[in-house]
Every structure is written in C-alpha cells, then in structure tokens.
Structure 1
Amino acid sequence: MYEFSRAKVQKMGYAFLGADKCYYSVPYHYIGKYIEIQYNKRVVEIYYNKERIAIHSKS
C-alpha cells in the first residue's frame, strides 16, 4: 500500500520526505518545483505532472 506526500525540490536537487526524515535526489531541472511523492516500505517514487521523474529504493 502506497502513501503520498508533496514537497518542493530544494536548491541542491533534493526532496525531503518527512515521513522517514530522508532526502531523495531529483533531476536538477525540477529545482523549485512542487512534486508528488508516492512511497511504501521498499520504494520511493517521485512524480511531476503525473510523470515519474525519479525512483529510489529504501534501505
């Protein structure tokens, strides 16, 4: 089951997911944009305008 969050991509190209207090990298051209984060225990998927722009596995 996925959970959802929204964040702004920071100046260094990272988005902060408050639920697990971690930063995840995002392509630099999304800096300053608001993105949607979809996550579960194993994976974090980052979307902009419904297009997946990054995916990270959680450890």
Structure 2
Amino acid sequence: TLKAHGSLVTLYIRFTGALPPRLSPVLLQAILHGVQTAHDLTWLEAVSPSAAEALAVWP
C-alpha cells in the first residue's frame, strides 16, 4: 500500500540521510510543502538545474 511505501521511504531517509535513488527531490518537496513550493526557481535551480531551466520558459 501507499502508506507502507511512505513508511519505508521515511525509514530509508532517516537511516541513510539521503533520498532513495529513484525519488525526485522535487516530488518530495511538493508532497511535503505543496505543489506551489516546487515552482520556486531559486530552490529548483539549486536542486535540479535542468528542471529549473525548463520551468523558467513557462509563462
């Protein structure tokens, strides 16, 4: 289930101090703080420059 998956991801982050290899930091930011926070270009540029570049051209 989704709840079990979330628990495993949380444990992984807690014990390794890093995100699982296939978990996007942008997705995690959107889940934790809302979708609008993932549109912060300054933050996005630090985390994923290619995504920030793609988002910057959107109106």
Do the two structures share a fold, i.e. TM-score over 0.5?
no
The structure whose RCO (Cα within 8 Å, separation 6+) is larger is 1
Larger radius of gyration: 2
Higher helix share: 2
TM-score norm. by structure 2 comes to 0.20
TM-score norm. by structure 1 comes to 0.20
